[in-house]
């Protein structure tokens, strides 16, 4: 049943202290009205806020002082009647309120069900729905801004434009199929087709590179800190944590990520991973060997390899270099306050093109340079560029890659002077794939799966 009335606790982003019970559906107002004392909610104007008390209908006790917002369809998030009850009490009392609301006829919303309704009722498209999910999970302000822009429909707009271009391309092809006798039309169309397809291809390629950066902002750079015992790995971890300002946490009462695992480096979330116990491993290579540690380390986006300036390079250090060969890593030469024993020339040789940063963590020196190196590695320094607004997720990235492949096939077919209706198949496929990003051509099962990933109350 899609239009029964659903309810859940839903806390606004950035306002952890206030909890909201949200209802959506035909009976949202009448159910709230049964508990509310202060006014007759059935007669109030839409989009108005009312102060009052929520009464326990069995005992007549006051459960909560509340502010109730009444919003009538269709100008609501779900396009259904929506009531939001702002509570000041703790989680326990909000839970009790929710129980009463369920008792009076609402059904507990499934995770993501509010957003799913918004999507099904045509209020938002799929990429916007995913942005809601991103917002809930956003780990830093920058990641949140990007999600907000996507919610705004920026990605949707771009994808729609590209699809429009492809439709026009396909239309040209249709003309050719319908009037094959005009030879010069075919010749001209071939040229134009190629040009248009290439244009879309280049744009998709650009979106894809943005999408990858967006993914990093959303999910964080999976980072492993490795080095011999005593080189300063824990000190490095602490330095990150100390510099970290408030990180947006998940909403109380919903699934919680382990917050200490995220640190904020110039707006980029670093996720200090513990792949096979690698985070802060003294002797990973020693323990499991170069090959296996390589395998485990491959799961990180970034490895911080810490060395001791005050000691000579050891074979253990050299093995670490072998384990990270070909991966993305930054060498940190720590303890530069000590007398130099480390052969920096050898370190440079081993590191090749990778960056080397010197630190004296004990004196708080070097973190700035390190943070800059990290930002530079992933964003070539221009994190603020407005282009980054097309945040994306794994699903978008896969679809964009498939779109590129389809366009590539189309261009190959054109180059090989294949019959034009064969070219059309590939172009149409690209059009369909782009449609999946905004939910135009996705199957129901995918939609169910996507929305079930949401937190409760959204
Ligand atoms: P880990 O074993 O790699 O995690 O190393 P720790 O972070 O626990 O540091 C080992 C020791 O080195 C501690 O006593 C730290 O205070 C010290 N240490 C960390 N950084 C520096 C530094 O820059 N200079 C000096 N002299 N000592 C440091
Ligand atoms: Zn340690």
Q: Is residue 164 part of a domain?
A: no
Looking from the CA of residue 361, the nearest atom of ligand 1 is 23
Geometric angle at alpha carbon 122, from 170 and 255, rounded to 5°: 115
The 10 Å Cβ neighbour count of residue 173 is 21
Q: Is residue 166 part of a domain?
A: no
Name the H helices within 53-182. Answer: 91-103, 113-120, 126-137, 141-151, 154-178
Q: Is residue 115 part of a domain?
A: no
Q: Return the pLDDT at 168.
A: 76
Asked if 204 contacts 400 with a C-beta cutoff of 8 angstroms, the reply is: yes
**Secondary structure of residue 34 in the 3-state scheme:** helix
* Protein residue with its CA nearest to atom 10 in ligand 1: 230
Pocket of ligand 1 (CB under 6 A): 227, 229-235, 280, 334-335, 337-338, 360-362
Could you tell me the CA-to-CA distances from 390 to 134, 137, 197, 220, 430 in Å, in that order?
12, 16, 22, 16, 19
Q: Please tell me the distance from the alpha carbon of residue 435 to that of residue 444, in angstroms, as a whole number.
A: 14
Q: Is residue 393 part of a domain?
A: no
Asked if 428 contacts 168 with a C-beta cutoff of 8 angstroms, the reply is: no
- What is the CATH classification number for the domain harbouring 263? 3.40.50.300
Quote the number of domains for the chain.
2
Instruction: Divide the 458 residues of the chain into consecutive groups of 10 and give the mean pLDDT of each group.
Output: 78 56 94 94 91 88 87 90 83 78 87 80 75 63 61 73 82 62 60 85 84 69 84 83 45 32 73 51 59 74 93 92 91 97 96 95 93 82 43 70 92 84 84 82 56 55
In this structure, the answer to whether residues 103 and 227 fall within a common structural domain is no
Last residue of a domain, one of 109, 141, 157: 109
Interface pTM, i.e. ipTM: 0.98
The pick from 225, 232, 314, 370 for probing ligand 1's pocket by mutation, whose C-beta has the most ligand atoms within 8 angstroms, reads 232
Q: Return the pLDDT at 377.
A: 82
Please give the full DSSP string across 180-220, using - where no structure is assigned.
Answer: TT-HHHHHHHHHHHHHHHHHHHHHHHHHHHHHHHHHHHHH-
Q: Return the pLDDT at 234.
A: 79
Q: Return the pLDDT at 247.
A: 37
Q: Return the pLDDT at 15.
A: 41
Cα-to-centroid distance, 362 and ligand 1 (Å): 7
Q: Is residue 298 part of a domain?
A: yes
Cβ within 8 Å of residue 189, ≥6 positions away: 172, 173, 175, 176, 420
In this structure, the answer to whether residues 378 and 256 fall within a common structural domain is yes
Kindly report the pTM of this predicted structure. Answer: 0.52
Last residue of a domain, one of 109, 140, 165: 109
Q: Return the pLDDT at 386.
A: 43
Q: Is residue 266 part of a domain?
A: yes
Which residue range(s) make up the domain with 61?
Answer: 6-109
Q: Return the pLDDT at 221.
A: 82
Q: Please tell me the distance from the alpha carbon of residue 361 to that of residue 337, in angstroms, as a whole number.
A: 9
Could you tell me the CA-to-CA distances from 220 to 142, 271, 298, 301, 419 in Å, in that order?
11, 5, 16, 9, 46
Total count of residues recorded for the chain: 458
In this structure, the answer to whether residues 100 and 231 fall within a common structural domain is no
Q: Is residue 449 part of a domain?
A: no
Last residue of a domain, one of 79, 94, 109: 109
- What is the CATH classification number for the domain harbouring 99? 3.30.1360.120
Q: Is residue 103 part of a domain?
A: yes
Asked if 309 contacts 358 with a C-beta cutoff of 8 angstroms, the reply is: yes
């Amino acid at each position: 049943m899609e239009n029964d009335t659903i309810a859940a606790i839903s806390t606004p982003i950035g306002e952890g202290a206030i909890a909201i019970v949200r209802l959506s559906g035909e009976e949202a107002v009448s159910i709230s009205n049964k508990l509310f004392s202060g006014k007759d909610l059935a007669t109030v104007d839409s989009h108005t806020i009312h102060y009052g008390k929520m009464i326990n209908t069995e005992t007549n006790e006051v459960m909560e002082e509340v502010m109730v917002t009444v919003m009538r369809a269709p100008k609501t998030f779900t396009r259904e009647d929506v009531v939001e009850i702002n509570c000041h009490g703790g989680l326990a009392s909000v839970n009790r309120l929710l129980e009463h609301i369920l008792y009076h006829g609402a059904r507990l919303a499934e995770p993501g069900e509010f957003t799913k309704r918004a999507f099904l009722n045509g209020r938002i498209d799929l990429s916007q729905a995913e942005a809601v999910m991103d917002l809930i999970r956003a780990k830093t302000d920058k990641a949140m801004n990007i999600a907000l822009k996507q919610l705004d429909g920026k990605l949707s707009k771009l994808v729609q434009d590209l699809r429009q271009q492809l439709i026009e391309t396909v239309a040209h092809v249709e003309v050719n199929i319908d009037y094959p006798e005009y030879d010069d039309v075919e010749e001209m169309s071939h040229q134009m087709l190629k040009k248009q397809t290439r244009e879309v291809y280049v744009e998709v390629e650009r979106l894809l590179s943005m999408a990858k950066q967006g993914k990093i902002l959303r999910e964080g750079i999976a980072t492993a800190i490795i080095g011999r015992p005593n080189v300063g790995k824990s000190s490095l971890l602490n330095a990150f944590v100390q510099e970290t300002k408030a990180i947006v946490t998940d909403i109380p009462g919903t699934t919680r990520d382990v917050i200490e695992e995220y640190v904020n480096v110039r707006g980029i979330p670093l996720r200090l991973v513990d792949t096979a116990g690698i985070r802060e491993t003294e002797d990973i290579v020693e323990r499991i060997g170069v090959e296996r540690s390589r395998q485990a380390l491959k799961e990180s986006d970034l490895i911080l390899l810490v060395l001791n300036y005050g000691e000579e390079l050891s074979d253990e250090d050299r093995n670490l270099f072998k384990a990270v060969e070909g991966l993305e890593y930054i060498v940190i030469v720590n303890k530069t306050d000590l007398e130099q024993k480390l052969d920096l020339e050898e370190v440079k040789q081993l590191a090749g093109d990778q960056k080397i940063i010197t630190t004296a963590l004990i004196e708080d020196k070097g973190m700035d340079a390190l943070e800059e190196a990290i930002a530079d590695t992933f964003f070539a320094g221009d994190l603020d560029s407005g282009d980054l607004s097309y945040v994306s997720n794994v699903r978008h990235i896969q679809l964009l890659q498939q779109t590129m492949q389809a366009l590539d096939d189309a261009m190959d077919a054109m180059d090989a002077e294949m019959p034009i209706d064969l070219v059309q198949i590939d172009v149409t496929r690209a059009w369909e794939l782009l449609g999946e990003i905004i939910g135009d051509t996705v199957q129901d099962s995918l939609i169910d799966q996507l929305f079930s990933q949401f937190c409760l109350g959204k």
